Amino acid sequence: MNTQVAIIGAGPSGLLLGQLLARSGIANVVIEQRSADYVLGRIRAGVLEQVTVDLLDQAGVGARMHAEGLPHDGVELCFNGRSHRIDLHGLTGKRVMVYGQTEVTRDLMDARGAAGLPTVYEADEVSVHGFDGTRPTVRWTKDGVPHELQCEFIAGCDGFHGVCRASVPAEAIALHEKVYPFGWLGVLSDVPPVNHELIYVNHERGFALCSQRSLTRSRYYVQCSLDDHAENWSDDAFWDELKRRLPAETAARLVTGPSIEKSIAPLRSFVAEPLRFGRLFLAGDAGHIVPPTGAKGLNLAASDVGYLWQGLTDYYRSGNPVGIDHYSTRALARIWKAERFSWSMTTLMHKFPDTGSFGQKMQMAELDYLFSSRAAMTALAENYVGLPMD
Ligand SMILES: Cc1cc2nc3c(=O)[nH]c(=O)nc-3n(C[C@H](O)[C@H](O)[C@H](O)COP(=O)(O)OP(=O)(O)OC[C@H]3O[C@@H](n4cnc5c(N)ncnc54)[C@H](O)[C@@H]3O)c2cc1C
């Protein structure tokens, strides 16, 4: 088998890159270790920046998102039992789109299938070779049969635990990491959201988030300890804990129901530098992780893909290598700003085990300042809706 770009991983970054490259006439094959159903079953992100919406439109997969997605003009932050709204649209002229990662993935899979683009699911023992030379290869086995794909470039879109970053020699890559001392217990439930916009809560019992996927499907989270297990939490226990952390009038209108998914996600900040190694590029979670507090993970995956698509398109159209040469620098400049924002939102809104009374006072002072200063609210809003792709 031969292709121009081999894409490892059929998550949002791999599928979006494949779709954009195909529209630029660049041949690509996606190789994914899991089944399509497994990939579609993962419940993850749900808030899209305008940059991501634009890229999905450019990929030709935006129709259902515009029909079914929910544009949000603001978010609420609660502390000391009171809610304060950040008017995202009023402060920045931009809004965010609530549309689940599962739906984005489904739209991309459907488009890829309809275009007849090659995708290998359930590929075992995927490995990448020769990316420091001119003719890289990807090898895998499927149903016990070995396969090899020759290509010109490899896009490592295989997530945090993928094979691509792990194949880079240790001396060629720098890893920056911060692991937070808590996780998020998340519940997905087919109940109407408690509020028409997202609510972030700083509470003495810990952080809580009221998010949503549609007008009938809600996603709620409470901060939990890292050694906790989702099985320890009955649905009733989860709803009781969430209500304790919400302002009284919000808790009173919370509609509860059976969970359709319940899981604990650890929180981590992580960046690998650089993101290019010869003919191998890392994009999305393969290169970086943010704690979900700023809703940036999926959006950063999309902007990486946008830079890579632009670079590869220039290279294949005119032989101009500037875009791929600068991919890592351009993507990392945006990544570090999103890392900073996600870290600062996490620090502002969570209860840290070693915070002490001084740390709590600092959080309250910062939140107080935020809501007394249009400049501070604008800075938060500008980052929340997403910085431009420079
Ligand atoms: C539990 C959880 C909750 C999250 N919640 C949020 C949220 O609320 N908001 C937010 O913004 N972000 C959230 N994120 C982050 C967001 O989902 C990711 O940033 C996004 O999925 C990144 O997309 P990706 O395509 O780069 O990586 P992934 O979605 O991880 O996709 C990588 C793909 O590569 C495949 N793969 C892995 N290894 C191999 C291999 N060796 N060979 C072939 N294929 C391989 C995987 O099976 C997977 O399909 C969450 C992430 C997790 C894990």
How many Å lie between the centroid of ligand 1 and the Cα of residue 183? 17
Q: Residue 142 contacts by C-beta under 8 Å, 6 or more apart in sequence?
A: 120, 122, 123, 124
Q: Which pLDDT score, from 0 to 100, does residue 355 have? A: 82
How many Å lie between the centroid of ligand 1 and the Cα of residue 40? 11
Ligand 1 in contact with 152 (CB < 6 A)?
A: no
- Is residue 200 among the annotated active site residues? yes
From 298, 334, 341, the mutation candidate for ligand 1 (largest count of ligand atoms within 8 A of CB) is: 298
What order of strands is seen across the sheet that includes strand 280-282? Answer: 119-120, 28-31, 5-8, 153-156, 280-282, 276-277
pLDDT in tens, 169-210: 999 999 999 999 999 999 999 999 999 999 999 999 999 999
- Is residue 296 among the annotated active site residues? yes
How many Å lie between the centroid of ligand 1 and the Cα of residue 371? 34
- Is residue 161 among the annotated active site residues? no
pLDDT in tens, 64-112: 999 999 999 999 999 988 899 999 999 999 999 999 999 999 999 999 9
Which listed residue (220, 221, 307, 384) is catalytic? 384
Q: Which pLDDT score, from 0 to 100, does residue 370 have? A: 96
- Tell me how far apart the alpha carbons of residues 364 and 348 are, in angstroms, rounded to a whole number: 9
Q: What element of type H or E holds 384?
A: helix 374-385
pTM of the model: 0.96
Q: Which residue from 333, 331, 328, 311 is spatially nearest to 274, judged by alpha carbons?
A: 328
- Return per-residue pLDDT of the chain as tens, 390 residues: 899 999 999 999 999 999 999 999 999 999 999 999 999 998 889 999 999 999 999 999 999 999 999 999 999 999 988 899 999 999 999 999 999 999 999 999 999 999 999 999 999 999 999 999 999 999 999 999 999 999 999 999 999 999 999 999 999 999 999 999 999 999 999 999 999 999 999 999 999 999 999 999 999 999 999 999 999 999 999 999 999 999 999 999 999 999 999 999 999 999 999 999 999 999 999 999 999 999 999 999 999 999 999 999 999 999 999 999 999 999 999 999 999 999 999 999 999 988 889 999 999 999 999 999 999 999 999 999 999 998
Which listed residue (136, 193, 291, 292) is catalytic? 292
- Tell me how far apart the alpha carbons of residues 52 and 298 are, in angstroms, rounded to a whole number: 8
Q: Which pLDDT score, from 0 to 100, does residue 81 have? A: 87
Q: Which pLDDT score, from 0 to 100, does residue 390 have? A: 84
Ligand 1 in contact with 304 (CB < 6 A)?
A: no
How many Å lie between the centroid of ligand 1 and the Cα of residue 255? 29
Residue 282, helix vs strand vs coil: strand
